[in-house]
């Protein structure tokens, strides 16, 4: 019977050091292997050239490295790149590289499918299969960093957890991945360049604040009126805006980190003056700014981007109330890599 080997990257550095001591080797060997696994992102034990052949064989006999594989890479005419990433169990997730003049951002997935059911989102149509492991999240970032260097001649500068899945429903693994991404033994990126974007799970927002995380928080708000929000994000019935508001106030009191509200204006759904007024009131609860995002229809259904008059009204009213607002144009539409479009269409 074939013995299932353990994924070596599930071990902490300390556990790796202990493993080598048990094998009669030096603990330091654990540090060397750890560096290969994370900082150098080795895909196989053979790559570990400063480790003796016997030791590499011993590792091969005991462990596997479940590295992701970029199955398909699509490049958009605007420089956006979408990766279809195959996991060790043959499931697929997607991640996206978004280049602008000043930064290169990786948009990564945290779950296969999603636990939530936002009506406007392509990912919601795939049922949640499983959470991603920390190494699977980390590998997506490394793959995009490599592509950024290759196609845009610069390293990755920012990361957003805005791909498939709700990151706060896979909190522990997302946190472990961010630890590796920010550690000098991993990619050494500043946590200030990382944004975790949630649909708003109040309990987990408070937990993040208690954990004193250093990355930034974005909330996909889309409406500050319970009735409207529940109609497009049904879980809002369980976590209403009053709970979200309280959690966000708690977050700001603890972290002093301003919150970004991601917001799409849809035709006939949230394009009226009362919708803007409710957003203005919500923004007063904690220091925040608003990102108005261009929407990409996932089919000819009920969700269509509002006209430019409605968008202008949002910008004018928010600015008149001294709320910072940016309008984010969508990228990579021609390859279905834009926000809310990730659904393994290939």
Query: What would the DSSP string read from start to end of 57-115?
Result: HHHHHHEE----EEEEEEE-TTS-EEEEEE-TTS-EEEEEEEE-SS-EEEE--SEESBS
Sign of the alpha-carbon torsion through 252, 239, 222, 284: negative
- Residues annotated within a binding site: 114, 118, 121, 165-166, 197, 220-222, 296
Q: Which residues are annotated as a binding site for S-adenosyl-L-methionine?
A: 165-166, 197, 220-222, 296
Question: Least distance (Å) from ligand SF4 to the CB of residue 229?
Answer: 12
The SS3 assignment for 28 reads helix
Stretch binding ligand SF4 (CB under 6 A), from 53-61, 110-118, 145-153, 187-195: 110-118
Torsions phi, psi of 183, nearest 5? Answer: -75, 145
Burial class, 307, CB count within 10 angstroms (exposed 0-12 / middle 13-18 / buried 19+)? exposed
229 or 331: CB nearest ligand SF4:
229
User: Minimum CB separation from ligand SF4 for residue 240, in Å?
Assistant: 16
Listed ranges 14-22, 86-94, 115-123, 240-248: which one lies at the site for ligand SF4 (CB under 6 A): 115-123
* Residue 127, beta-bridge partner list: 114
93 scored as a contact of ligand SF4 (CB under 6 A):
no
The interface region with ligand SF4, picked from 111-119, 171-179, 246-254, 309-317 by CB under 6 A, is 111-119
* Residues 210-229 within binding reach of ligand SF4 (CB under 6 A): 220
Q: Are 165 and 344 in contact (CB under 8 A)?
A: no
- Which residue in the set 96, 106, 116, 209 belongs to the binding site for ligand SF4 (CB under 6 A)? 116
Let me know if 3 is exposed, middle or buried by CB neighbors in 10 A (0-12, 13-18, 19+): exposed
Instruction: Tell whether residue 166 is a contact of ligand SF4 (CB under 6 A).
Output: yes
Residues 120-139 that bind ligand SF4 (CB under 6 A): 121, 123-124
Q: How many CB atoms lie within 10 A of CB 268?
A: 11
Among 99, 134, 165, 186, binds ligand SF4 (CB under 6 A): 165
Binding segment (CB under 6 A) for ligand SF4, from list 42-50, 158-166, 243-251, 330-338 = 158-166
Span near ligand SF4 by CB under 6 A; candidates 34-42, 113-121, 135-143, 209-217: 113-121
| Closest distance to ligand SF4 from the beta carbon of 265 (Å) | 16
Work out whether strand 92-99 and strand 104-107 pair parallel, antiparallel, or are unpaired.
Answer: antiparallel
Which residue out of 107, 136, 283, 339 is catalytically annotated? 339
DSSP 265: -
Binders of ligand SF4 in range 303-322 (CB under 6 A) = none
Q: How many CB atoms lie within 10 A of CB 267?
A: 14
Binding flag, residue 164, ligand SF4 (CB under 6 A): yes
Q: Is 114 in the site for ligand SF4 (CB under 6 A)?
A: yes
Q: Which residues pair with 112 in a beta bridge?
A: 130
Residue 200 interacting with ligand SF4 (CB under 6 A): no
Nearest Cα to Cα of residue 267 among 226, 227, 300, 220:
300
* Terminal-to-terminal C-alpha distance of the chain: 37
Query: Which residue reads 């975790």 in tokens?
Result: 196
The verdict on 118 binding ligand SF4 (CB under 6 A) reads: yes
- Cβ 315 to ligand SF4 shortest distance, Å: 23
Which positions make up the binding site for [4Fe-4S] cluster? Answer: 114, 118, 121
**Residue 94 designated active-site:** yes
Name the phi and psi angles at 2, rounded to 5.
-75, 130
Residue of the chain from 199, 270, 291, 330 that contacts ligand SF4 (CB under 6 A): 199
Query: Footprint of ligand SF4 on this chain (CB under 6 A)?
Result: 114, 116-118, 121, 123-124, 164-166, 199, 220
Which residues are marked as active site?
94, 339
């Amino acid at each position: 019977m074939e013995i299932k080997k353990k994924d070596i990257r599930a071990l902490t550095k300390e556990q790796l050091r202990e493993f080598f001591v048990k094998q009669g080797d030096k603990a330091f060997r654990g540090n060397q292997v750890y560096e290969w696994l994370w900082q150098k992102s080795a895909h196989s034990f053979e790559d570990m050239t400063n480790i003796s052949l016997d030791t590499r064989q011993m590792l091969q006999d005991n462990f596997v490295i479940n590295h992701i594989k970029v199955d398909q890479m699509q490049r958009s005419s605007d420089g956006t790149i979408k990766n279809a990433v195959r996991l060790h169990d043959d499931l697929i997730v997607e991640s996206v590289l978004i280049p602008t003049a000043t930064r290169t951002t990786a948009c990564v997935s945290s779950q296969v499918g999603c636990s939530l059911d936002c009506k406007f989102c392509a990912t919601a149509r795939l049922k949640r299969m499983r959470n991603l492991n920390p190494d699977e999240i980390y590998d997506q970032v490394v793959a995009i960093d490599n592509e950024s260097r290759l196609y845009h001649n610069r390293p990755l500068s920012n990361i957003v957890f805005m791909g498939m899945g709700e990151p706060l429903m896979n909190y522990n693994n997302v946190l472990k991945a961010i630890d590796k991404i920010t550690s000098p033994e991993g990619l050494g990126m500043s946590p200030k360049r990382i944004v975790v974007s949630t649909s708003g799970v109040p309990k987990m927002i408070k937990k993040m604040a208690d954990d004193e995380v250093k990355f930034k928080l974005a909330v996909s708000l889309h409406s500050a009126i319970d009735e409207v929000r529940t109609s497009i994000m049904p879980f809002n019935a369980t976590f209403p805006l009053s709970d979200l508001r309280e959690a966000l106030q708690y977050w700001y009191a603890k972290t002093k980190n301003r919150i970004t509200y991601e917001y799409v204006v849809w035709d006939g759904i949230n394009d009226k003056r009362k919708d803007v007024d409710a957003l203005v009131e919500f923004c007063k609860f904690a220091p925040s700014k608003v990102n108005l995002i261009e929407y990409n229809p996932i089919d000819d259904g009920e969700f269509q981007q509002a006209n430019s008059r409605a968008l202008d009204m949002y910008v004018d009213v928010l600015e008149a109330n001294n709320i910072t607002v940016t309008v984010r144009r969508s990228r990579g539409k021609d390859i279905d890599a834009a926000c809310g479009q990730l659904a393994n269409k290939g």
